[in-house]
Amino acid sequence: MADNKRRGEDPGDDRLHDETVDDVADDATEADDEPVTRGGGTATRSRARADSADSRPKTRSETDKVGPFGRIARFVREVVAELRKVIWPTRKELLTYTAVVIVFVAVMLTIVAGLDYAFAKGVLWVFGNPS
């Protein structure tokens, strides 16, 4: 009951549309003289400098050209790093999931085979059996 009382969830609720949210803090002691425009305008000079400083490569491997074997080695290292993040199932969970999948596939196979047999018999009955 309380979930529908949140702002913006009720179509008739104008509270969200009446309020304006200002994410930019008004700072009178800003070092730059250039104005900050909102809604896709220009950014301040300090922000542009910070973005350009962050975009420079920081390691030697990013600046040097890497050969095909180096790229393969980096790919393998990244794959191993990603596989270490995986939460692997326990043996019991693995067996349970495997059994569920096998049972589901068997049930679906039975349904499809039954429908195939029924439709084949129906088509032979409608169009006649030559034998």
The verdict on residue 108 lying in a domain is yes
The verdict on residue 129 lying in a domain is yes
Q: Which of 13, 51, 20, 48 is nearest to 34 (CA)?
A: 48
Instruction: Give the residue with greater pLDDT, 14 vs 115.
Output: 115
The verdict on residue 29 lying in a domain is no
**Residue 101 CA: distances (Å) to CA of 28, 104, 117:** 63, 5, 24
Q: Which of 52, 50, 53, 71 is nearest to 62 (CA)?
A: 71
Question: Which tens digits make up the pLDDT trace of 80-120?
Answer: 999 999 999 999 999 999 999 999 999 999 999 999 999 99
> Which residues of 2-129 form beta strands (DSSP E)?
none
The verdict on residue 96 lying in a domain is yes
Q: Structural domain tally of the chain? A: 1
- Residue 108 domain boundaries: 89-131
The verdict on residue 55 lying in a domain is no
Q: Both tokens of residue 16?
A: 């969200």
46 and 31 Cβ atoms separated by less than 8 Å: yes
The verdict on residue 56 lying in a domain is no
The verdict on residue 49 lying in a domain is no
C-alpha angle 31/35/39, rounded to 5°?
130
The verdict on residue 73 lying in a domain is no
Burial grade of 13 (CB within 10 A; 0-12, 13-18, 19 or more): middle
Question: Which tens digits make up the pLDDT trace of 31-58?
Answer: 455 555 555 555 555 555 555 555 665 6
- DSSP H helices, 32-90, are 45-54, 60-63, 68-85
